[in-house]
Every structure is written in C-alpha cells, then in structure tokens.
C-alpha cells in the first residue's frame, strides 16, 4: 500500500488532509462531529497512513488515538503554528483551491509541515534506491525507515533478504507503558517499605529474646510480678513473629506481581492491551474499568444490554473481539473479530496482549470487507429501484 501523511485538525468540526510522499494531495475533508472511526475508514481506502501530524506542539488526543489505532508515527511542530503561517503554507504550495474552510487549511498545513520535515530523508531514500536500482522498493523502504527508525540500508536488507525487521528504539513511551512502569515503581517501593518494617520487627524480636534470656538466666526467686512481665514479653514476641510472617507473605505476593509486571513491560511497545470481560451485560460491564478507544475481548456476545452498547458507542469503542460465536445484531455498529484471527502474545486473567501489526492488519481487512458488503447492498437496492421504475 502507498504510504501516506495524514494531517488532522480536531475539534467540534474536525478535518483531515492526506498527502503522499511525492507531495501530491490525495484527499481533504471536514465535518461537524466527525467521529474518529469515520476518519479512519476514509483514510484506509487511500493507502497506508504511516505519519499523522498536528499543527500544535502538544499532541491532541484525537491525533494520538489515530496513531495508536493504526500504528502510525505522530509528528508535531516545535511550536504552535500561527493562523497566517498555515494559510501562507497552503497558498504557496498551490493547494488553496482544494480547501473549503479553516479546519481543512489547518489539517493540510500540518501535513505539509510534516512532509517538509521529512523531505531530506525522502530524497536520500530515493537517491539510494536509484543508485542500487531498487526503485520498486520505495514505498516499503519509506514505511520501514520512518516507522521503525532504522537506516535505509537496513530497511532495504530487511526487504530483499526477507529477514526479520529490526526493531527501533522507542523514543516516546506510550501511555499504557508509562502507567505500567508507574505501577511497577509503586510495587518496588512497597516491597522496600515492607523489608524495612521486617528488619525492624526482627530487631525488636531479637532484643526481646535477649531480655527474656537474661531474666531466665538470673537464679532468683521470680515473683508473680516478674512472671507477669515475662509472660507479657513472650506474648509480644509471638505477636511480632506473627506480624513478621504476614509481612513476609505480603512481600512474596508483591514479588510475584512485580515479576509479572516485568514480563509485561517489553510487550507494550509492539502490543495492544485488550481488556477481557465475560459478556456485555450491565453487571459485567460495571466490574471492568473501560475507557475511550479501548479494545475488548468478550467471551460471549449473545448476552448484551442496549445501555452497554450505547456506552460503547459513546466511548468510541468500535472493535469487539469475541471468543465463542458472533452476533448479527452487533455487526451493524461494531467491527467483530474472532479471537482466533488475531495473534495473542500473552494472556492473563483480566488482560490479553495482541500483536499490534497483526491486529491492525485484521481490523483494516475487516473494515474493507464491511465497506465492500455495504456497497454491494447499495448497488442491489439501486438496481431493484430502477427495475421498479421501469415496470
């Protein structure tokens, strides 16, 4: 597929603009209350969006969500672009006649700025491929070099020799990775605190035992008062030993959790986090913390609530992965994918980690097939309507 640059201007009225790497304008569009799912569907049919750009220094959430769902790389300028600058940029490049409003101008300016930032790299790629007489690899090399941040030579070698793609260093930590690392750090602190408490308890127990031993070694008549004191100290020793046992068990549990988290961290860069639920009933939905644009793995799609479906739509959750059987009713509003179709890297009790590239590919193909089926139905209805008119 042809690699593309997508500029996005989010807002009440959102817009997108698409350029290819030959600096041709492929598409531009805007709409009030433009859902992300519709933008994704529109762009899918044009090529492979590998770079998504904004006109602001801080990455807007819509741009970040687009990037996460499609595996595209984000690009932002080092400053917030000015209104006049964006209009001039579109005008100088003879694109003014293609835009209908300020939102489309902003989206197109973001795409143009991103292209110009990568222009030297693109020239270098084209020159290298021309020199090695491998111009047919241009689209693939551009995609690999930009997405994986590796050298042009390694990108060419990985295609020609069909070797495993080299994984680039990730410079920007993804939101879920930061969250897990934060949790990991918290667990480490808890373990350290518990170990400190354990040490203090051991010291107290040792001190009490020594005192008790001294008292026992004294060959004197121990009166009721002394016996009572020794009994109290023995009870304290037993109490502290019980506390020590509890703390040790807590440390073991935290260590296990710590080890699990350490195993998960390496998966985050190349995986998509999927939350697991039994069904789409109200009771089940309340048990799980589900946020905007989450991926869900549902065991049984036959059980669902209309209020839950509405909430899924409100949270812009379009992809539902199911374990048992599909549901014709849900196919109208959601992208339904059977679990066996995707590559699961690791599965826990409440979460699963799917291969990002594989899941993106499956979702893309599903969207294309659904779009094709909708077009066929429209054609059949149109033919039927014409036949009725002729009669």
Q: What is the pLDDT of residue 170?
A: 35
Confidence of residue 167 (pLDDT cuts 50, 70, 90): very low
Nearest to 337 by CA among 295, 375, 376, 288: 295
Range 162-190 average pLDDT: 45
Question: For the segment 262-317, what is each residue's pLDDT rounded down to a tens digit?
Answer: 666 666 667 888 888 888 888 888 887 888 888 899 888 888 888 888 888 888 88
Q: What is the pLDDT of residue 196?
A: 58
Judge whether residue 164 has pLDDT over 50: no
> How does the average pLDDT of the chain come out, rounded?
80
- Highest mean pLDDT, choosing among 107-111, 198-202, 377-381: 107-111
Nearest to 336 by CA among 353, 351, 352, 318: 318
Q: What is the pLDDT of residue 369?
A: 77
Q: What is the pLDDT of residue 124?
A: 94
% of the chain surpassing 70 pLDDT: 76
**Contact predicate 32/38, CB 8 Å:** no
Confidence of residue 166 (pLDDT cuts 50, 70, 90): very low
Say yes or no: domain 3-160 is CATH 3.40.50.1470.
no
How far apart CA 228 and CA 233 sit, in angstroms, is 9
Judge whether residue 361 has pLDDT over 70: yes
Range 196-207 average pLDDT: 71
- Sequence-ordered list of residues with C-beta below 8 angstroms from that of 118, at least 6 positions apart, any chain: 21, 51, 146
Q: What is the pLDDT of residue 109?
A: 97
Structure tokens at 170: 């990730």
Confidence of residue 212 (pLDDT cuts 50, 70, 90): confident
Question: For the segment 323-337, what is each residue's pLDDT rounded down to a tens digit?
Answer: 876 777 787 788 888
CA-CA-CA-CA torsion for 313, 318, 321, 327, nearest 10 degrees? Answer: 60
Least confident of 137-146, 219-228, 298-307: 219-228
Confidence of residue 243 (pLDDT cuts 50, 70, 90): confident
How far apart CA 236 and CA 245 sit, in angstroms, is 14
- Highest mean pLDDT, choosing among 156-165, 188-197, 356-365: 356-365
Q: What is the pLDDT of residue 213?
A: 74
In the chain, what are the domain boundaries? Answer: 3-160, 175-268, 271-379
Question: For the segment 104-117, what is each residue's pLDDT rounded down to a tens digit?
Answer: 999 999 999 999 99
How far apart CA 187 and CA 183 sit, in angstroms, is 6
Judge whether residue 189 has pLDDT over 60: no
How far apart CA 16 and CA 29 sit, in angstroms, is 6
How far apart CA 264 and CA 271 sit, in angstroms, is 10
Q: What is the pLDDT of residue 178?
A: 41
3-class SS string, the chain: CCEEEEEEECCCEEEEEEEECCCCEEEEEEEECCCHHHHHHHHHCCCEEEEEECCCCCCCHHHHHHHHHHCCEEECCCCCCCHHHHHHHHHHCCCHHHCCCHHHHHHHHHHHHHHHHHHHHHHHHHHHHHHCCCHHHHHHHHHHHHHHCCCHHHHHHHHHCCCCCCCCCCCCCCHHHHHHHHHHHHHHHHHHHHHHHHHHHHHHHHHHHHHHHHHHHCCCCCCHHHHHHHHHHHHHHHHHHHHHHHHHHHHHHHHHHHHHHHHHHHHHCCEEEEEEECCECHHHHHHCCCCCCCEEEECCCCCECHHHHHHHHHCCCCEEEECCCCCCCHHHCCEEEEHHHCCEEEECCCEEEEEHHHHHHHHHHHHHHHHHHHHHHHHHHHHHHHHHHHC
Question: For the segment 25-49, what is each residue's pLDDT rounded down to a tens digit?
Answer: 999 999 999 988 889 878 877 888 9
Compare 360 and 385 and report the one with higher pLDDT.
Answer: 360
Range 71-97 average pLDDT: 93
Q: What is the pLDDT of residue 174?
A: 39
Compare 78 and 250 and report the one with higher pLDDT.
Answer: 78
Residue pointed to by tokens 């290298």: 128
Structure tokens at 285: 């939905």
Confidence of residue 245 (pLDDT cuts 50, 70, 90): confident
CA angle 388–390–391, rounded 5-degree value: 65
Range 346-363 average pLDDT: 85
Confidence of residue 224 (pLDDT cuts 50, 70, 90): low
CA 2 → CA 102, 138, 139, 269, 364, distances in Å? 27, 10, 6, 24, 14
Range 203-218 average pLDDT: 74
Confidence of residue 373 (pLDDT cuts 50, 70, 90): low
Q: What is the pLDDT of residue 391?
A: 45
């Amino acid at each position: 597929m042809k690699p593309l640059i997508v500029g996005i201007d989010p807002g009440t009225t959102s817009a997108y603009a698409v350029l290819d790497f030959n600096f041709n304008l492929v598409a531009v569009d805007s709409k009030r209350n433009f859902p992300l799912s519709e933008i994704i569907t529109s762009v899918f049919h044009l090529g492979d969006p590998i770079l998504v750009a904004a006109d602001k220094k801080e990455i807007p959430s819509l741009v970040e969500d687009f990037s996460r769902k499609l595996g595209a790389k984000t690009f932002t300028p080092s400053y917030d672009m000015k209104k006049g600058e964006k209009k001039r940029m579109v005008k100088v490049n003879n694109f003014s006649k293609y835009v209908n409003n300020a939102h489309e101008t902003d989206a197109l300016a973001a795409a143009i700025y991103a292209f110009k930032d990568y222009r030297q790299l693109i020239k270098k790629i084209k020159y290298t491929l021309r020199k090695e007489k491998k111009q047919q690899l241009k689209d693939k090399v551009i995609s690999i070099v930009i997405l994986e941040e590796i050298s042009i030579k390694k990108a060419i070698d990985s295609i020609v020799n069909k070797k495993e793609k080299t994984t680039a260093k990730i410079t920007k930590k993804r939101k879920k990775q930061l969250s897990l690392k934060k949790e990991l750090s918290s667990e480490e602190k808890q373990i350290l605190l518990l170990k400190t408490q354990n040490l203090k308890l051991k010291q107290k127990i040792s001190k009490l035992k020594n005192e008790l031993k001294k008292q026992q070694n004294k060959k004197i008549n121990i009166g009721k008062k002394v016996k009572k004191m020794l009994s109290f100290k023995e009870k304290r020793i037993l109490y502290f030993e019980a506390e020590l046992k509890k703390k040790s068990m807590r440390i073991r549990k935290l260590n296990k959790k710590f080890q699990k988290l350490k195993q998960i961290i390496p998966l985050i860069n190349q995986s998509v986090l999927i939350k697991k639920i039994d069904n789409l009933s109200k009771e089940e939905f309340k048990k799980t913390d589900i946020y905007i644009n989450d991926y869900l793995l549902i065991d049984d799609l036959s059980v669902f609530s209309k209020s839950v479906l509405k909430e899924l739509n409100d949270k812009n959750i379009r992809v539902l992965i199911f374990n048992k059987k599909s549901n014709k009713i849900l196919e109208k509003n959601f992208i339904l994918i059977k679990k066996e179709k995707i590559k699961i890297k690791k599965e826990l009790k409440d979460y699963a980690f799917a291969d990002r590239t594989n899941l993106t590919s499956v979702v893309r193909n599903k969207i294309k097939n659904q779009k094709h089926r909708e077009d066929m139905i429209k054609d059949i209805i149109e033919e039927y309507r014409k036949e009725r008119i002729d009669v």
